[in-house]
Amino acid sequence: MTKAELVDAVAKSAKISKVAAGVAVDATFDSIGKAIKKSKRFQVPGFGTFTVRSRKARQGRNPQTGAVINIKASRSVGFKPAPVLKKGL
């Protein structure tokens, strides 16, 4: 699903304009991003949990040359679905 499809679905289910739905979707994801940055976790009951995950530094390979490169440690966002969502898949 693309963002445009999400906005259309929200507008249709909430019976609001696409512009208002777009603003609501943007505000929702902005708030989720801020919550994850602040508390390192964001949970939606019945849907799942977003958490900050740390990756260790490691060695990789350049796919074009095969040369060994060093990949820095980094952080990313992980998602763990709630049992209700997982069961419905």
Distance of alpha carbon 52 from alpha carbon 40, whole angstroms:
5
Which pLDDT score, from 0 to 100, does residue 43 have?
A: 95
Of the pLDDT bands very low, low, confident and very high (cuts 50, 70, 90), residue 49 is very high
pLDDT tens digits, residue range 10-38? Answer: 999 999 999 999 999 999 999 999 999 99
Please tell me the predicted confidence (pLDDT) of residue 89.
86
Instruction: Give the CATH number of domain 40-89.
Output: 4.10.520.10
**Cα(51)–Cα(34) distance, rounded to whole angstroms?**
12
Cα–Cα distance between 17 and 7 in angstroms, integer?
A: 9
Domain ranges of the chain: 1-38, 40-89
Rounded CA separation 33/38 (Å) = 9
Q: What tokens appear for 64 in the block?
A: 């074009």
Query: CA-to-CA distance for 75 and 33, rounded, in angstroms?
Result: 14
Q: What percent of the chain has pLDDT over 90?
A: 98
The predicted pLDDT at position 69 comes to: 96
Average pLDDT, the chain: 95
